[in-house]
Chains A and B, each alone.
Chain A
Amino acid sequence: QLQLQESGPGLVKPSETLSLTCTVSGGSIRSTTDYWGWIRQPPGKGLEWIGTVYYTGRTYYNPSLERRVTISVDPTKNQFSLNLSSVTAADTAVYYCADSGYDFGTIDYWGQGTLVTVSS
């Protein structure tokens, strides 16, 4: 069974870059049928799609975050990563990495999530 695990700092200062990595186990990030994505959830609020990457490096970003987001894939480590620049307190959220294996629009597997707080 596919498993996803987020890692990265839990505290980021305002104006800096938030960087998270998702390690995939039980499957290959080179899969031609899977899309790898990031979703976030501010405390007490709903889910927001950040973006998705295919193993070729093709990316799809939420237009509201596109200026600040970079998602990349590292097949040698079976990982994919999120960078979100110029963060503010509004970027404080639980960040989930996820897999869409059935269809681009369906998220089959989720990581457990990691809370990232933006604060000085």
Chain B
Amino acid sequence: DAEITQSPRHKITETGRQVTLACHQTWNHNNMFWYRQDLGHGLRLIHYSYGVHDTNKGEVSDGYSVSRSNTEDLPLTLESAASSQTSVYFCASSEQNTYNEQFFGPGTRLTVL
């Protein structure tokens, strides 16, 4: 069965360290997204990609970067982790048609101390 996975599921790091969160999907979807979810806020878009070598900034992209070298993977990098980046991070993917539903990975809980 096709799926979308994220790793690690839990991560504790220190302020200033570089952290990379992995996202891998086997749906063969062109569109991939990274969100963060914090209490009292809706999901907020960090970065998104509509295909290989395409990346775009979302609403809250400062301090984050992504790269898309193949269809299956969209890793999210925190260049220098800050306590404000403590959050739950969700990766999602969807088919090329923008009206299609997004399928979400299980999430990564990141704590920055």
- Decide if A and B are genuine partners: no
